[in-house]
Amino acid sequence: MLLNVKNLRKDYQRGQQTFAAVNNVSFSMQSGDFNCIMGKSGSGKTTLLNMIAGLLTPTQGKVTFNDVNLFELDDQQVSAFRNQHIGYIPQGSSLLPNLTAIDNIRLPYYLTKRPNKSSFSYAKSLLEKAKVSYLQDVYPANMSGGEMRRIAILRALICQPQIIIADEPTSDLDEESSTDIMQLLKEINQQGTALLIVTHDHDVANYSQNILKMSAGRFIE
Ligand SMILES: Nc1ncnc2c1ncn2[C@@H]1O[C@H](COP(=O)(O)OP(=O)(O)OP(=O)(O)O)[C@@H](O)[C@H]1O
C-alpha cells in the first residue's frame, strides 16, 4: 500500500474547549490512485493534508507510506522522507521570490544530498512538458497566478515522488488556467504518480477517481 491513514485525529484548543479538527479519519491509496477531498471551509481538510505530509503531528493515529510510519521518524528524517517521496503543493503562492522558475523547481533537489546527478536537464524537461519553457528564467513577480501554480507543481515533481499532495491547486484561478493545471496533474497521474487533492471546485473533483467528503473533521458518505 502506498499510503495508509489510520484513525487520524488532531485536537485543537478553542478557548477552554478542546475540539477535533480531524476526527478518526482512515483511508488508503495505491500507486496511480487519484483521490480528491471536498468539504466546507473549516471541515479539517488542510489539517488532514498537513498531517499526511508530515508537517503536523497528529494527536492520535498513524500515517504510513510504503509501510514507513512517518511519526516514528525524527524531524530531520521526516523532512528527508517528504522531500524524496512526497510532492507537496501548499495552499497559495509558495515560490521563492528571489529565484527564477527553473531554480524554484530545482530547489527541493538540493535539500537532500544527491551526488552525481544534475537536476538542470530534468527541470528543463518538466518545463517543456508543462509547455512553459518560456518561464525558465522568469521570477515569480513577473508570472501570472496560473503560471506560478504550474511552477509549484513542477517543483513538487523534481524529486520524482510517488504521490503529489496538493491543497487547492486551482483556487483563485480562472476557468482556463484551472483546466490547464488539471490537465497537467491528470498527465502526471496517468504516468503513475498518485494524486491527493483538496478542492472546493466540482469541476476539479470530477478529474479524480474518488471523492472523499469531509464534514466537521470526519469523512461522510
Ligand atoms: N493551529 C490551530 N489552532 C486552533 N485551531 C485551528 C488551527 N488550525 C486550524 N484550526 C481550526 O481547525 C478547523 C479545521 O481547519 P482547516 O484549516 O483544516 O479547515 P479547511 O477545511 O482546510 O478549511 P478551508 O477550506 O477554509 O481551507 C477550523 O475550525 C480551524 O479554525
- 205 alpha carbon – ligand 1 mean position (Å): 21
- Identify the bridge partners of residue 62 per DSSP, sorted by sequence position: 6
State ipTM. Answer: 0.97
- 198 alpha carbon – ligand 1 mean position (Å): 13
CB 194 within 8 A of CB 161: no
CB 195 within 8 A of CB 185: yes
Radius of gyration of the chain, Cα coordinates, nearest whole angstrom: 17
What's the rounded Cα separation, in Å, for the pair 30 and 27? 11
Report the pLDDT value the prediction gives residue 60, as an integer from 0 to 100. 97
Grid cell digits, residue 3: 499510503
> Angle of helix 145-157 relative to helix 175-190, nearest 10 degrees?
10
Protein residues whose CB sits closer than 6 Å to any atom of ligand 1: 12, 21, 39, 41-47
Report the pLDDT value the prediction gives residue 9, as an integer from 0 to 100. 98
- 84 alpha carbon – ligand 1 mean position (Å): 27
C-beta contacts of 168-176 below 8 A and 24+ residues apart: 168/91, 168/198, 168/199, 168/200, 169/89, 169/197, 169/199, 169/204, 170/199, 170/201, 170/204, 171/91, 171/92, 171/199, 171/200, 171/201, 172/145, 173/145, 173/146, 173/149, 174/146, 175/203
Report the pLDDT value the prediction gives residue 129, as an integer from 0 to 100. 86
Report the pLDDT value the prediction gives residue 114, as an integer from 0 to 100. 66
* Domain boundary assignment for the chain: 3-220
CB 85 within 8 A of CB 53: no
Could you tell me the CATH superfamily of domain 3-220? P-loop containing nucleotide triphosphate hydrolases (3.40.50.300)
Mean pLDDT by 10 residues, the chain (221 residues): 96 94 97 96 96 95 94 90 90 92 91 70 91 96 93 91 94 86 92 95 94 96 77
Report the pLDDT value the prediction gives residue 91, as an integer from 0 to 100. 87
